[in-house]
Amino acid sequence: MDHWILTQALGRGKAVEDRFERLTFTRLVDTVAGYPRGSVVLPDGSIVSGYPSIARVQSLAAGLRRHYSGPFWAEEKIDGFNVRIVRYGQTHYAFSRGGFVCPFSTDRLPDLMDPAVFDEDPQLVLCAEIAGPENPYLEGHPPQVAEDVALFAFDMMHRARPGFVSQDDKMRLIARYGLPATRIFGRYQPEDTEPLQQLILQLDAEGSEGLVFKGEEDGSRAKYVTGRSNVSDIALCGDQLLDLPPEYFTNRLLRLALFASENGQVGDAELERSLGRAFIAGVARAVERSREVGRVGVPFRCRFRQRRNAEHFIAHMKATGGKRIMIAEDMPRREGRYWVLEFERVLERMTGTLANTLAGASQYD
């Protein structure tokens, strides 16, 4: 990026200088010169572009017709967190969506992928989802990751030019370097509603989150989730009923009903029961927790290879989460060849409201 533009962006608060160990870099906190928030400028001036927001389609047939006029690819959407992985010098870094170095992902990269792909092109940016029950950010995880975390590559970018690497090149590199990647279901046309509907119903039954579509020509992306992924989200977050924006729940209910309506699932007793259970069990879990310990929180557990990365992560959590993050004094704790970190994100509104309510407080509404 042009030095003058960057200096101006820093002056206007649209970019921030940051550092992780020996790497100093600039993180965009707003769009600058066409690069979105979360883009990273490395010391050599090369740019790791921010990963763009993806449009969400809520009606399959109508959405595809409106979004695409030519062929597109359908890939699995993974319920994890998005990182962009780069090699700089001899070191690999994983940047979060916001453009921070993620100490957890960076630490675990050697366990998750072979970095040989960067030998072929050191300027490559690998976009991947990191997902699994032992991740430090999200409550949910895909059913195929039974323990710890796994990495799913799904896109590639390049530090020397904007835009995504083409689907063909991406598929070739994934195959050649044996990169763990999201499932690619194939190439479709906008009128292929029927096979895509069959596909999404299969994913719905498997417990998968859904699909991401990628236009072959312009690379434009769109996502479409399964009905049951909404139920899973609600089941995981029911105890956060008052701490998440209420639209978290209403948006998912709307998507679920649209999906059920488009796929003949309205009246499905098992679906109804699972949604009801998601809410009642989730909120009741918070009520029980409030009765037992006077506090409601979400527990997290993850493991690090290196103690100092766990400490970087703790410092980041404390800086951004403040009092809401509870970490025991003895963390991280050595377990086998890993440093395990367990912590709890306290749900302040549920904690406060349930404590008052269970003490008999009344409310006016």
Positions that interact with a second copy (CB under 8 A) = 53-59, 61-67, 222, 238, 241-242, 246-247, 249-251, 253-254, 256-258, 260-261, 266-267, 269, 271-277, 279-284, 286-288, 353, 357-365
> 3-state class of 24 per DSSP?
strand
Residue whose CB is less far from a second copy, 166 or 261: 261
Q: HSE on the CB side for 248, CA within 13 Å? A: 16
- For the bound state, the minimum distance from the C-beta of residue 59 to a second copy, rounded and expressed in Å, comes to 5
Candidates 57, 37, 48; CA nearest to 1 is 48
Alpha helix stretches (DSSP H) within 227-306: 227-237, 246-262, 269-293
Residue whose CB is less far from a second copy, 133 or 282: 282
Residue whose CB is less far from a second copy, 120 or 272: 272
| Ramachandran assignment for 210, one of left (phi > 0), alpha (psi -120 to 50 degrees), beta (any other) | left
Residue whose CB is less far from a second copy, 336 or 360: 360
Residue whose CB is less far from a second copy, 23 or 258: 258
Do 97 and 84 form a contact (C-beta atoms < 8 A)? no
- For the bound state, the minimum distance from the C-beta of residue 349 to a second copy, rounded and expressed in Å, comes to 10
- Cα gap 296→282, rounded to integer Å: 11
How are beta strands 297-304 and 221-225 bridged, if at all? unpaired
Would you state the structure tokens that stand for residue 361, as one six-digit string? 């407080």
- For the bound state, the minimum distance from the C-beta of residue 217 to a second copy, rounded and expressed in Å, comes to 18
- Cα gap 214→221, rounded to integer Å: 5
Residue whose CB is less far from a second copy, 141 or 221: 221
- For the bound state, the minimum distance from the C-beta of residue 228 to a second copy, rounded and expressed in Å, comes to 12
- For the bound state, the minimum distance from the C-beta of residue 347 to a second copy, rounded and expressed in Å, comes to 13
- For the bound state, the minimum distance from the C-beta of residue 334 to a second copy, rounded and expressed in Å, comes to 38
Q: In the chain, what is the greatest distance between 2 CA atoms, to the nearest angstrom? A: 66
